[in-house]
Amino acid sequence: MTEGYLDAREQALALRRLAEEVATAARSRGHRATPEGVISGVGFDYLAPYLVAQGLVARGMLARSGDGFTLTKRGRELVRLVVEIVELVKSDSELPELDGGRIFGSVLYAVYDWGGAAKDAETYIEYVKRVRDKLVELSRDPRRFKLAAMLLPRMYYEEGYTPLRLLEAVSRL
pTM over 0.85: yes
Average pLDDT over residues 127-140: 96
The predicted pLDDT at position 173 comes to 87
pLDDT tens for each residue of 17-70: 999 999 999 999 999 999 999 999 998 999 999 999 999 999 999 999 988 999
Residue 85 has pLDDT above 80, yes or no: yes
2, 33, 104, 105, 152 from 90: Cα distances, Å? 33, 13, 9, 12, 10
Burial class from Cβ neighbours inside 10 Å (0-12, 13-18, 19+) for residue 127 reads middle
Is residue 77 included in any domain, yes or no? yes
Neighbour tally for 14: CB within 10 Å: 26
Q: Containing domain of residue 128, as a range?
A: 8-171
Flag whether pLDDT at 1 surpasses 50: no
pLDDT over 70 at 98, yes or no: no
DSSP helix/strand/coil, 54 = helix
Q: What is the mean pLDDT of the chain?
A: 92
Whether 2 is covered by a domain: the verdict is no
pLDDT of residue 166: 92
The number of domains in the chain is: 1
Q: Is the dihedral of CA 32, 38, 40, 45 positive or negative?
A: positive
**pLDDT grade, residue 2 (50/70/90)?**
very low
Tell me, yes or no, whether 120 lies in a domain: yes
Mean predicted confidence (pLDDT) in 121-150: 96
Residue 1 inside a domain? The answer is no
In a domain, 3, yes or no: no
